[in-house]
Structure 1
Amino acid sequence: MTAFSLEPAQLAWCAELRALAAERLRPLAEKGEPGRVNRPLVAELGRLGLLRRLFASGALDLCLMRESLARACTEAETALALQGLGAHPVHAHGTAAQRARWLPGVTDGTAVAAFALSEPGAGSDAAALELTAHPDGPPHADGTAHPDTTAHSDATAHSDTTAHPDTIAHPDGTGRWRLTGEKCWISNAPEADFYTVFARTTPGAGARGVTAFLVPADRPGLTGRGLDMLAPHPIGALDFDGVPVTSDDVLGEVDRGFRVAMGTLNLFRPSVGAFAVGMAQAALDATLAHTARRGAFGGTLRDLQAVSHQVAEMALRTEAARLMVYAAATACDEGAPDVPARSAMAKLLATETAQYVVDTAVQLHGARALRRGHLLEHLYREVRAPRVYEGASEVQRGIIAKELYARQEAR
């Protein structure tokens, strides 16, 4: 079934992605350890050129990748998406030195990225962040940072200790901070090679006092631990005990990091919807096959009107979600003014739809779908989290309502 009038080349590419996921990525995913970063899988995504494409194409292209991979291998889809989420702020806001240091490794699959926004007390309310960046003393008279407090690893150190000219120092002139606090529910933690970390640089300023930092995993004072979650992909918590950062590590501008976070989420929210659509389509495909061959009451399940109508409803909702995801992604690519609302609508509809479709598929399959290792058992565990992360469904409704009222008041 075609949707949103995709071009033949796009449809062919989606089919190729599904084949690659089944033939080359699924075997690597099956060898991975649940809850751990699967580096061979990430490296294969790099060899296939899919990670490079994350930064060379638009939102619709990203959605097509995520949907296609999700239909055949959710682990591959998630590994690709997490690379994009963690590294997009570097691509979009990093200095030339930051991009040169980290993006080649991200795109070839040798450097694992992570997006560190959520905290134990600040998940949906991202403006309430408590991880604090404390100013860390004055620079030398010539403007350079003290070499004993820059704490760059050998791999990230510049040839000298001067700040990069594109970076902006803290308003007090130091350009050096210590990060103290905790991050939680961070995908790829604690195994990532670097983190995009959002910290409070101005107390009491809400969203206007947050700065984005690029923090390599080997910085002193940074530790982490994995969390045992329902979904099998890696998620952990990070502890920051006076982790040193400098103006060289700032992504974008000081106290303007919330824009970095929201810009990244607005791009990736429709693609979370695409991930959900891919899972819904996989569940629908499995249900069509099962109900067509499963004998029941002298015929097959498909002959029962109650069953066929449920399958029709699954298809209807999946297609509606797909169209909204593609529309939101297209609006993002065109720079439309209503991207926040469209992105929120796409994520909300698609993730809620996928939950319904997968749950209905389990019901129509019966007990076999609950057996460990069954596709639907896997999808049932996977499908729940997207309704929570990158803004819970309730947050998406709040964004939509806020945008609607703002639009009305502007008339």
Structure 2
Amino acid sequence: MKKIAFTLIVFIGLSGILNAQQRNNKLTFDNVIINIPNSLTLCPQDIANYIHSKYSTQDSKIQALYFWIAKNIHYDIENMYSFDYDTIGIISKTLKTRKGICYNYALLFSDISNRLGIKSFVITGYTKIDNEIDYTPHSWCAGMIDSKWYIFDPTWGSGSVSNGNYIKQIDQYYYKMSPKRAIRTHMPFDPLFQFLYYPITNNNFCAKRKKPKSNNTYFNFDDSLTVFENLSITKQLINTKRRLENNGINSYFIFTIINQFRQEIDDNSYNQTIDTYHIALNSYKEGIFQLNRFIDYRNKQFAAIENDSVLIIILDSVENSFFLSIEYLKHIDSPNQNIQKQMDNIHKSIESNMLYFNEQRLFLDLYFNTPKNYRRSLFYDRLIDE
């Protein structure tokens, strides 16, 4: 699973206590998925290939995947408060140990879903059980089946925890829930992932009623989701924080989540600034290297150059490198004082070195327009210091 849109929603430290209410909705299934060879269950792509080869519809594929995960992955009570940011490592470990917390379940389900050609997101939020709010962060999934969004909770669908013990009981109630049904128990931090045109506020979700009351403001989540997926990581985080704030800060828990988003935005913005600066710096250095390379060839009267076109390529590289450096610097927003100072130095250096570059360009034009028998005279008294 490598989709920015859902990797962003899972950066918050998640543990997810498995305390779902079991409804005795047992999921029965054929022997095809049950009999998948063990050798094909240690890699998500192998599982996806097997399901893809045995089932033809999106509905049957996602059902087979839900059943296999719910049947074979057990909730890891001992590590219920731990979290690992290595998504690839999490999936591999989950398949190897057959254990995981809610994030492991959701990540595995979403990863294989996407490999099956079923668009999926990992969603995080909090839950309501028997009309009581549980503020422990929890992870579940969304999947698009035949152009419609549905909610899946493979963790709650695999069993429950009672008195510190994990009880295995596959439950289909949390399979393919409509967004309207899912919002009764699962509240995403980001209202975008409610997949509702009239989303629920935090206040309405936390109210003592079985069916949360929708607000009256229309929200086109389809268009918003399309826009969201095409934004940069930083802008995704900024937009998510804004939606969280607009959806109501009704508890210290939500306040803390929003602060975590603020920190993530600051960290990501700083990292993006550093990455962009280094790209600009390397482009600048490449321009300086190629300019010195040209001057060195010129001081040697282009004796080592077999083809005049090489000289044009070198100078074009100088100009392009300086241009790219300046363009990358333009994309750095609100740099700190130290970075701004370094950026100013690059600008000044490029400006002064462009004077040397223009001199070399003029000389090269003169060189090409001079008959070959007279070109050597152009180098007299024209040696240049590097």
TM-score range, shorter chain: under 0.3
TM-score by length of 2: 0.28
Task: Tell me: higher relative CO, structure 1 or 2? Use CA pairs within 8 A at least 6 residues apart.
Answer: 1
